[in-house]
Amino acid sequence: MTRVKPLSPIELSDVAVNPLATSTPFRKIVTGLTLFLFVCVVAVIGYMAAGWKFDDAVYMVIITIFGVGYGEVHPIVSPGLRALTIMVIIAGYGAVIYTVGGCMQMLIDGELNKALGARRMTKGIERLENHTIICGIGRLGTILARELARAGKPFVAIDADVSRLQDAEARGYLVIEGDATEEETLEQAGIHRAATVATVLSQDATNVFVTITARAMNPNVIIIARGENPRTEKKLISSGANRVVLPTAIGAQKVAHLITRPTAENMLDHLRSENTLVDDLAYIGLQFDELKVEAGSVIVDREIREIEIRSNHGFLIVGIRRAKENEVGISKLNPDSNTKLAVGDVVIVLGHSDDIPELASRFTAKSKRMTYRGVTVDS
């Protein structure tokens, strides 16, 4: 997945201590203001040493530096006062120009960095394929984004709240500011190339609108919608959602399980928090993944045992979600070794993390048909 590179912990700590310490324009502004104040103080002291009052000296310094054009407060006849006035004009002008230059550079650099950042973000989103579009980066959306990032799955987040997007961008996520119910926003997020849309906004009505819009733009995309009111579930399904998640109902079930079967629930919580199986497999370089059998793939109509034997790398097929006409949607764990794979089957595999990409290429590789002595075979 293409991401915007986040700051390292060291860089973050530096910025936290002094956000402008590394800013050259800021240093210019500070230096210019310091020089300006120094010139003013020296000039005021010089004029007062010549017998001027404090307010007359300050007034003379201001009209001299800013070139207002008023007449002299007192006649400047001595060579010393003339030299002092010339120094005030040159040094004062220089300090003002230097300070203004720093301010201009800060504005230009800020706008330039903003434009370049937006350009990088747009390019990153344009390169996404088979990704997830997260509509809403609130509490639920943030957790979802974190889990997808941890799994290495590409995604882009949409939200209208600038502060939320800034937090997400700081984590290195691809983000879009906008209304997820608008076709233009979903188009910008690559809805036609997306594999999944997760609309997890806080308002059920908004999730319904997002579902309708996304389904109209991409009939094949998988839509997972959040619902607060259980009665909204049917509306979301009829609007085009494949699955509906009810956080309130899930939370209530969790509380009920803690009351009715606390020991079992505590054990399950321990397994979830420790993630024992996944962690143990990761420790030895193994991971679970799901692969879809594409049309024309070399493994179509091949038995599981044949695929596992002929593979250059060891892996196990531990589950299948069937796509055959008489078995659509049926999931099988630990399928028989003589089971033949069909187009559209989703296969759960367990293999070495380094070999998963090559294994995925076998699922999408097209078979090469050749004829030998009148017999057509797949190679």
Can you give the pLDDT at residue 373? 38
Does residue 211 share a domain with residue 190? Answer: yes
In a domain, 337, yes or no: yes
In a domain, 230, yes or no: yes
In a domain, 81, yes or no: yes
Largest CA distance in the chain: 118
Q: Spell out the per-residue pLDDT of the chain, length 379, in tens.
A: 333 334 443 333 343 334 344 457 778 888 888 888 998 888 888 888 888 888 888 888 888 887 766 667 777 777 888 888 888 888 888 888 888 888 887 777 665 666 666 777 788 888 889 999 999 999 899 999 998 998 888 999 999 998 998 898 888 899 998 999 999 999 999 999 999 999 999 899 999 999 999 999 999 999 999 998 888 889 999 999 999 988 888 888 778 877 876 766 666 566 555 555 555 555 556 677 778 888 878 888 888 888 776 655 567 788 888 876 566 666 777 788 888 888 888 888 877 766 777 777 766 655 444 333 344 434 4
Q: Containing domain of residue 135, as a range?
A: 128-251
CATH number at residue 188: 3.40.50.720
Does residue 111 share a domain with residue 85? Answer: yes
Q: How far apart are CA 294 and CA 313, in angstroms?
A: 20
CATH number at residue 41: 1.10.287.70
Query: Of 122, 149, 169, which residue is a domain's last?
Result: 122
Does residue 144 share a domain with residue 74? Answer: no
Work out whether strand 315-321 and strand 346-352 pair parallel, antiparallel, or are unpaired. antiparallel
**Residue 345 and residue 301 in contact, taking contact as beta carbons nearer than 8 Å:** no
Does residue 218 share a domain with residue 134? Answer: yes
Hunting for tokens 């370089």 — which residue is that? 285
In a domain, 265, yes or no: no
**Residue 30 and residue 196 in contact, taking contact as beta carbons nearer than 8 Å:** no
Can you give the pLDDT at residue 216? 94
In a domain, 264, yes or no: no
Query: Of 122, 146, 176, which residue is a domain's last?
Result: 122
Can you give the pLDDT at residue 268? 59
Phi and psi (nearest 5°) for 329? Answer: 85, -5
Does residue 96 share a domain with residue 28? Answer: yes
Phi and psi (nearest 5°) for 70? Answer: -70, 165
Does residue 221 share a domain with residue 143? Answer: yes
- Structurally, the chain folds into a number of domains equal to 3
Nearest to 197 by CA among 176, 175, 177, 218: 218
DSSP states of 116-127: HHHHHHHHHHHT
CA 316-322-324 angle, 5° bins: 135
DSSP states of 26-80: HHHHHHHHHHHHHHHHHHHHHHHHTT--HHHHHHHHHHHHTT--PPPSS---SHH
Other CB atoms within 10 A of residue 183 CB? 12
Does residue 225 share a domain with residue 302? Answer: no
Query: Of 72, 104, 122, which residue is a domain's last?
Result: 122
Can you give the pLDDT at residue 21? 40
